Homo-oligomer: A and B are copies of this chain.
Amino acid sequence: MVRKKTSIKDIAKALGVSITTISFIINGKAEEKRISKEMVKKVEDYVAKVGYRPNHLAQSLRSGKSKVLVLMVEDISNSFFSNIARLIEEKAFKNDYKIIYCSTENSTEKAKELIHTFKSRNVDGFIITPTADLKFEIENLIKENFGVILFDRWIPGLDCSHVIVENRRSSFEATQHLIDTGAKKIIFITVSSDQTQMQDRLKGYLEALELANLSPFVFEEPFHSSSEEFMGDQIKEFLLNHPDADALFFATNYLAFEGLHAIRKLELRIPEDLQVLAFDDHFFFSLYQPSISAIAQPLEGIAEKLMEGILNQLDENIESKTFKVELANQFVPRKSTFSKS
């Protein structure tokens, strides 16, 4: 048996009624259009009986709307993004929107292709963790009146709604926390990236050190190894050259995982030999021994604000300006850093 869905036309034929009438009733416009009670009942009963479901494709083609939002993240297997994805989906459902996720794998080409394919499927809006190269595409989306909101980072020189966190401030405060414990040589471990969130985390670190008159030491990891065997080898190398380091501040949680591998290989004690702190909390950090201090991003708040921002854009009754939100993080001190007291 091949697909054979009942359409409005079939219903019209079976009931001897026009498709217009059916359409009105299905779309809850019976009252407005003053359709008789009997007619409404007749149609509704039949619709229920045959289990009719409207074809969304046809609806979208005709109306230009689809009730679908796209969530484009860098990598869905990263727990930060997959957690955000789950929260957003939950909220979207409540607002009668469906979410389509996809990963860009940090490839601008792939991101562009995805944007084009979804545009031509009439999705209503995009929630994106962008790369700077996406500026042109995003400008176009805005011009073409799609809902667009960025998160995690934003694009300099582009006036677009976004939801980010206080990267600089949290990084500054966390660094100060380390300085307060007496650490003199604090290493900032990051990846080579000009993404705004990474730059801001770096800035916060640098500012705190400057204020304390300490010298900064930044290690930019040139590439990632996800192989268990080599995890952390680059950081290990760096640490060997800096045996007097007091503390490591990791710009992301996955860097911290690599760092922990390195620290284990070097048989260093945390926090006695080396304090450890990471941006972006992870359940792992509370379970590791010793537990790892981290800066927790407000996942729930981010998801909430993203939905709020994009729904406002899509609501034609609201005159929406660009919506720019910066949320506070929470520093979670654990055993890997000395308490200030």
Question: A residues bordering B, Cβ < 8 Å?
Answer: 1-5, 53-58, 60-61, 64, 75-79, 82-83, 85-86, 89-90, 93, 98-103, 105, 110, 114, 116-117, 119-122, 143-146, 228, 231, 257, 260-261, 264, 283-284, 286-289
Contacts and interface: CB of A to CB of B under 8 A. Distances in A.
A89 B102 contact: yes
A146 to B, nearest CB: 8
B86 A75 contact: yes
Contacts of A289: 264, 288-289
Given A1-B145, A75-B86, 19 more contacts: A53-B116, A55-B61, A55-B122, A56-B117, A57-B61, A77-B79, A77-B83, A77-B85, A79-B79, A82-B82, A93-B110, A100-B101, A101-B101, A101-B102, A257-B283, A257-B287, A264-B289, A287-B288, A288-B289
Contacts of A89: 76, 102-103
Contacts of A93: 110
Contact of A55 (B114, B120, B257): B120
A327 to B, nearest CB: 20
Contacts of A105: 86, 90
Contacts of A77: 79, 82-83, 85-86
A64 B85 CA distance: 29
A143 B76 contact: no
Please give me the 5 A-B residue pairs with the lowest Cβ-Cβ distance, nearest first: A77-B82, A82-B82, A77-B86, A56-B120, A3-B144
